[in-house]
Structure 1
Amino acid sequence: MFEFAFGVDDLATTWFTYSPLQEAVFSLRARRHAAKYPWQRRWTESWEAAYRTLDTALLDVLVTPRAWTPDFLTPRPAFQRPSFEGELERVSATPPETVVKDFTAAYRGDGAPLPEPVLSLLDDPVELRERCVAQLRAYWERCLLPQWWPRARTVLEADLAYRGRMFAERGAEGLFAELDHRLSWRSGVLRLDDPDPRVRALGGRYTPVAGRGLVLIPTLMALGAHTDIDPDEPPLISYPARGRALMGENPPPRVPDALAGLIGPPQARLLVLLDQPASTTALAHRLAVTPGAVSRHLSALATAGLLTRTRAGRCVLYARSALGDALVVGGS
């Protein structure tokens, strides 16, 4: 059990962000423990061929058998909306002794022996660190960045917008009550109950926020709220992102680069999706964006003669026209 004590001004220094690097590292859990992350299964299957072109022997052991990861691979964000490359640069600057300490701690806490290739590289932690950086960058570029990350980022941004509204409308108690069932707020103290026996074995901790701020991070890969306490850093809590189940729907088909360059990525994505008739609401749900944003693009595509519109009761269904079909085929 962890308790975070807030002073009079501490809520004013509480802030939300998300971490592309954390999402990338934690997504490796979805491959290792697919049954626990059903909303990610379609995605992991869709990038399996690309994953097999990487150093899977190393990537597979960045997550322990019970889903722990070395802390240096997921540095806490220093500001809102950091870039993946910026966060990876921080990993590249990790002191060698920290690389050894964090790998050892992760596997010791898991109760598992250090595996190859980590074990053989502990005597050269700089090489181990650089191989981790290189493989995470390749994993991001080949597997996550093309389609998964744009959709994941939309879900995370929607979570941040929702939390901000809840805080404005309902205050701290309303905000924390909705983050996760493990969290509770009472009389200026935020309490986190983690059921993991390995975490409980660490004992309870009482942490005054004390003007340092509290960092709150939504993630698609958490099964419940958890914390990372470092005496030299502001306290941090990660929690399951609202709407993460949207990731479980079929991934949108790949958008040809030529088509995206011709009419823009948003309209190209819609045109590719409309191989079957669909409504504005259905498209918005699949893309995890607002119906208004979809409607504007659909109107532009219809005006250009790339879509047809058919009314079905109160619903308007959009489908590609012959010209739209020809454009998608030609852009592939």
Structure 2
Amino acid sequence: MRFAVSPLWEVVTSFRRLLNDGAVSPVYRPWAAQVRPRLAAAGLDRGWLCELIPSSKYVPHFLNPAPAGPAPVLATELAELVAAPPETVRRNLDHLRYHQDSLGPRARALYADPAARLPRLAQEIEAYWKLALAPYWARIRTVLEADVFHRARQAAEQGAGQVINELHSAVRWDEDVLSLVRRTRPLTREMAGRGLLLVPSAFLGPGLLTRMTPPDPPQIAYPARGVGSLWASRPPTAKAEAVAAVLGRSRTLLLTELDAPASTTELARRTGLSAAGVSQNLTALRDAGLVSAHRAGRSVLYARTAVAETLLGADTR
């Protein structure tokens, strides 16, 4: 049994979350309110992902290749996606058609020529990532890695069976048998592939997603701990005063305002600093590794890095 933090799993689950919640549940509302206008402006609310990621039921397995390591980068996973065997893509699309009765025009084009269309899909996923996840990734990754650390310690202290039994109510481990609620088809060790891969997700909500594609190990994506406070606004901490003594009040103010990613113009409006001053300070903070920059259409969004989160003493448990 091993764990992996997977960018592609977060692409699938976050896009599905946007489709699934008409009004979006309160936990995800701050994130969705920022992301949806960007996706609409870029046309990503009506592209490849809309046809391949339904709001419920089956998601094509080729979208989530088994992560090779504990924390692959998006580019590595996209390379695996683009290299998916054509027969696998077509088999997955046949299954998608079975669940929703038909395929959209892009999905049909992908079925006809997977090798030619998969790079186009990868480009759209990368565009979605830049708009919807990259500006928030430092915070998301912190929560996912904290979940993995907690469960790895639990496995060391209480055994792998206890980890599985506390993972989700739909998963049970009893007398060397792994049981998944509502899975009607039996899966033997020989059929399942080697081992078990557990993938925490910040966007999954209360359910589970599974991927069973031998010879890859079975993957179970489950809701990570601490997601409930992930998108909540955090008040400035007492530590910010100490940080201001080192960085200066303007730069510390910008860091605290970056509780959610924002552009230079937005930060200038909210802080009262000049646009030129904001730009100069953001450049310094970026050079110091405290903020990251992500292009969203014509704007550039700035976000706090994990280093800045730690520096400000934000509670990411």
Describe the superposition over 1:146-190 as per-residue Cα deviations: whole angstroms up to 9, x where unpaired: 2x2222111101101111121222223432222111122223333
Point out the structure with max Rg over C-alpha: 1
2: CA distance, partners of 1:133 / 1:237? 23
1:121 Cα deviation from its structure 2 partner: 4.6
Among 71, 75, 80, the residue aligned to 2:65 = 75
2:115 corresponds to 1:139: no
2: CA distance, partners of 1:326 / 1:65? 42
Equivalence for 1:322: none
Q: Give the letter for the 1:47 counterpart.
A: V
Change in Cα spacing, 1:67 to 1:152, as seen in structure 2 (3 Å) is farther
Among 216, 219, 244, the residue aligned to 1:301 = 244
Among 278, 282, 287, the residue aligned to 2:236 = 278
Q: Give the letter for the 1:57 counterpart.
A: G
Unpaired segments of 5 or more residues in structure 1?
1-13, 251-272, 281-294, 308-317, 320-324
2: CA distance, partners of 1:122 / 1:69? 15
TM-score norm. by structure 2 comes to 0.71
Change in Cα spacing, 1:304 to 1:98, as seen in structure 2 (3 Å) is closer
Equivalence for 2:47: 57
Among 159, 162, 185, the residue aligned to 1:171 = 159
Change in Cα spacing, 1:98 to 1:175, as seen in structure 2 (3 Å) is closer
Equivalence for 2:264: none
Q: Give the letter for the 1:94 counterpart.
A: A
2:222 corresponds to 1:232: no
Q: CA RMSD in A?
A: 2.9
Describe the superposition over 1:23-75 as per-residue Cα deviations: whole angstroms up to 9, x where unpaired: 11221101111157542232122022321214433221121242532111111
Give the total of aligned pairs.
256
2: CA distance, partners of 1:216 / 1:121? 29
2: CA distance, partners of 1:299 / 1:100? 58
1: CA distance, partners of 2:170 / 2:151? 17
Q: Give the letter for the 1:122 counterpart.
A: Y
The farther-off stretch of 157-166 and 47-56 is 47-56
1: CA distance, partners of 2:25 / 2:65? 23
Secondary structure at 2:160 match in 1: helix
Change in Cα spacing, 1:107 to 1:299, as seen in structure 2 (3 Å) is farther
What is the 5 A alignment of 1:1-332? 14-35=1-22, 38-52=26-40, 53-55=42-44, 56-108=46-98, 110-146=99-135, 148-194=136-182, 199-200=183-184, 203-207=185-189, 212-222=194-204, 223-250=206-233, 278-280=236-238, 295=239, 299-306=242-249, 330-332=277-279
Describe the superposition over 1:100-157 as per-residue Cα deviations: whole angstroms up to 9, x where unpaired: 222221231x2331122322453232332122111001111222212x2222111101
2: CA distance, partners of 1:26 / 1:57? 16
CA contact (8 A) 1:226 1:238 kept: yes
Equivalence for 1:258: none
Change in Cα spacing, 1:328 to 1:227, as seen in structure 2 (3 Å) is farther
Describe the superposition over 1:197-239 as per-residue Cα deviations: whole angstroms up to 9, x where unpaired: xx43xx2333369993221111123332343222312232221
CA contact (8 A) 2:192 2:218 kept: no
1:245 Cα deviation from its structure 2 partner: 1.6
